[in-house]
């Protein structure tokens, strides 16, 4: 059959996620490879950060997807919870040889993770502009002028107008 250059497969080249959400990083490692641990890292080189070790350690935000203790398991995907902007970067699923902790056997192609800031629950974009809004707090006339022309009594404030004012200030 066709031989794959990569035995360690990371299916997604890149993913985008919002802060506070979770993300699944996929990795499959065929059980035909030599025995040894699979680890997830962020970045490459000596300063890379260990994200998950399937055998040991405490990683409160990370859960494994597959049952890695099951014989013949090939799924080494992980889910990272509560994503923050600091989580942006490229993640690598790396296979090591048993007993040679520093010797990489093979690395996946890497999955680049982009993190977008979740919009703070502020005023929606379709509200009146900030300038009009700030004027309304001190002066109800812009609000009155927005009412239908048939209401000629300037001293009468329509109930909708009050709600509109509250909406702006709240």
Q: Starting at the edge strand that comes first in sequence, how are the strands of the sheet with 23-25 ordered?
A: 23-25, 78-80, 62-64
pLDDT at 41: 98
Confidence of residue 42 (pLDDT cuts 50, 70, 90): very high
Q: Which CATH number fits domain 14-116: 2.60.40.10, 3.40.50.2300, 1.25.40.10, 1.20.1200.10?
A: 2.60.40.10
Contact 145, 151 (CB under 8 A): no
DSSP string across 55-74: SS---TTEEESS-TTSTT--
Domain boundary assignment for the chain: 14-116, 130-169
**Average pLDDT along the chain:** 79
Sequence-ordered list of residues with C-beta below 8 angstroms from that of 118, at least 6 positions apart, any chain = 18, 19, 20, 21
CA distance 96 to 76: 13
103 falls in which pLDDT band (50, 70, 90)?
A: confident
Cα–Cα distance for residue pair 40/64, rounded to 1 Å: 11
């Amino acid at each position: 059959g066709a031989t794959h250059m990569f035995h360690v497969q990371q299916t997604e080249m890149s993913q985008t996620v919002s802060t506070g959400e979770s993300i699944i990083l996929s990795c499959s490692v065929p059980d035909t490879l030599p025995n040894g641990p699979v680890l997830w890292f962020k970045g490459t080189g000596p300063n890379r950060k260990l994200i998950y070790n399937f055998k040991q350690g405490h990683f409160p935000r990370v859960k494994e997807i597959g049952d890695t203790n099951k014989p013949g398991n090939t799924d080494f995907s992980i889910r990272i919870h509560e994503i923050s902007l600091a989580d942006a970067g490229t993640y690598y699923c790396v296979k090591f040889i048993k007993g040679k902790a520093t010797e990489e056997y093979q690395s996946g192609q890497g999955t680049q993770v982009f993190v977008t800031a979740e919009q703070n629950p502020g005023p929606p974009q379709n509200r009146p502009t900030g300038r009009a809004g700030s004027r309304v707090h001190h002066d109800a006339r812009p609000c009155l002028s927005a009412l239908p022309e048939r209401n000629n009594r300037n001293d009468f404030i329509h109930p909708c107008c009050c709600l509109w004012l509250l909406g702006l200030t709240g």
